[in-house]
Structure 1
Amino acid sequence: MKKLFILICLSSFISGFSQEKETIDFKRNELKGNVLFLVLGAGEITYERLINEDSGLGVSLFFVKEDDFDTEFSLTPYYRSYFGKKTAAGFFVEGFGMINSGNTGSYSEYDSVNQGYYTVEGKNFTDIALGFGLGAKWTQKRGFVFEINAGIGRNLFNSNSPEVVGRGGITLGYRF
């Protein structure tokens, strides 16, 4: 009986199976630049870390010294969820937070009493916005990435800041 019990125990170890999930190894880091903003005279650099095959966390740094933009600087962390067949590619939705600062810009107004124009100086602002975005990403086997995205958010705290902020672009990058 003792020998039969030992034989059953040993055979159960041999025929046992592992319940460990099979992991797929893939490149998890992306570094991208927004070529649309580069053409418009601004710069945006983005780093994204892929959490798994369907999601990623990233941060974008936007900067400009042109008067055409209200926002001169923004730091935008985001979370993305991907719905494509490839790893972290295809259609995606994102939620983002944005720390943004800039100047609301100066403009001219007409004074009907003095019958002349005068300049109203813009006000500096720093604010935090929350928003969401949509986009699509295509990847190449060698690691090159092409992305189109757009998003909208709302500033929360400062009355001098624009009420609505935008986010978007056409980016090129590399996954490593």
Structure 2
Amino acid sequence: MKNLFALLCLTSSFLGFSQEKETTNFKRNELKGNALFLVLGAVEVTYERLINEDAGVGVSLFFVAEDEFETNFSLTPYYRAYFGKKPAAGFFVEGFAMLNSYVDHGYTTYYNDNGTTVTNFVADEVGADFALGFGLGSKWIHRKGFVFEINAGIGRNLFSDNSPEVVGRGGITLGYRF
């Protein structure tokens, strides 16, 4: 009986297999710029560090000097989970936090005695707030390391009553993985 048990253990060890996942070696740093915002007159630069084949963390810096945007500065750290076949590529879901500042242009409008509308500039109110949100997107990687990404996200400011209630995040991004 002992010999049969020993033979059974020996054959099962030959037939068994390991379930370790084979890891691939890939570049883990990305530097990207938002081409859509650049066309619109703003600048957004992003750095992302890939934790493994399925996840990455990063930070985006956004700033603008023009009045067309409600938000004139934001610093946005994020975490992404990737669902593609290539390492850290394909469809992704992200959660983000955003420290943002805004300028609220104050105007008053009233009607003159002769019936014309008069708009006066009162003052710019500058403020800051903190938002939490989520986003979706997709990333494509060229074999030479070039990155193309499309993403969109939405978040909510949490503290100030004067800040915009909803903040957006997104764009068409080009970059390089190194």
What is the aligned partner in structure 2 of residue 46 from structure 1?
A: 46
Q: TM-score, normalised by structure 2?
A: 0.83
Cα deviation for residue 86 of structure 1 reads 1.0
Partner SS state of residue 135, structure 1 = strand
What is the aligned partner in structure 1 of residue 5 from structure 2?
A: none
What is the aligned partner in structure 2 of residue 76 from structure 1?
A: 76
The number of residues matched between the two structures is: 167
Give CA deviations for 1:137-157 in whole Å, capped at 9, x if unaligned.
000000000001111100001
Cα deviation for residue 60 of structure 1 reads 0.1
The 5 A counterparts of 1:80-95 are: 80-95=80-95
Matched AA of 2:88 = A
Q: TM-score, normalised by structure 1?
A: 0.84
CA RMSD of aligned residues (A): 2.5
Distance 2:86 2:21 in 1: 19
Q: In the alignment, is the contact (CA less than 8 A) between 1:78 and 1:95 conserved in 2?
A: yes
Among the aligned pairs, what percent are the same residue? 72
Instruction: Give the direction of change, closer, same or farther, for the CA distance of 1:111–1:138 in structure 2 (3 Å limit).
Output: same
Instruction: Give the direction of change, closer, same or farther, for the CA distance of 1:159–1:139 in structure 2 (3 Å limit).
Output: same
The 5 A counterparts of 1:1-176 are: 21-111=21-111, 116-176=118-178
Q: Which moves more between the two structures, 73-82 or 63-72?
A: 63-72
Cα deviation for residue 112 of structure 1 reads 7.0
Cα deviation for residue 21 of structure 1 reads 4.8
Matched AA of 1:173 = G
Unaligned runs of 5+ in 2: 1-9
Matched AA of 1:153 = G
Partner SS state of residue 32, structure 2 = strand
Cα deviation for residue 117 of structure 1 reads 3.1
Give CA deviations for 1:34-75 in whole Å, capped at 9, x if unaligned.
011111111000000011111100000001111111211100
Q: In the alignment, is the contact (CA less than 8 A) between 1:109 and 1:119 conserved in 2?
A: no
Q: In the alignment, is the contact (CA less than 8 A) between 1:104 and 1:162 conserved in 2?
A: no
Unaligned runs of 5+ in 1: 1-10
Give CA deviations for 1:77-106 in whole Å, capped at 9, x if unaligned.
000111111111111111000000120223
Distance 2:32 2:132 in 1: 22
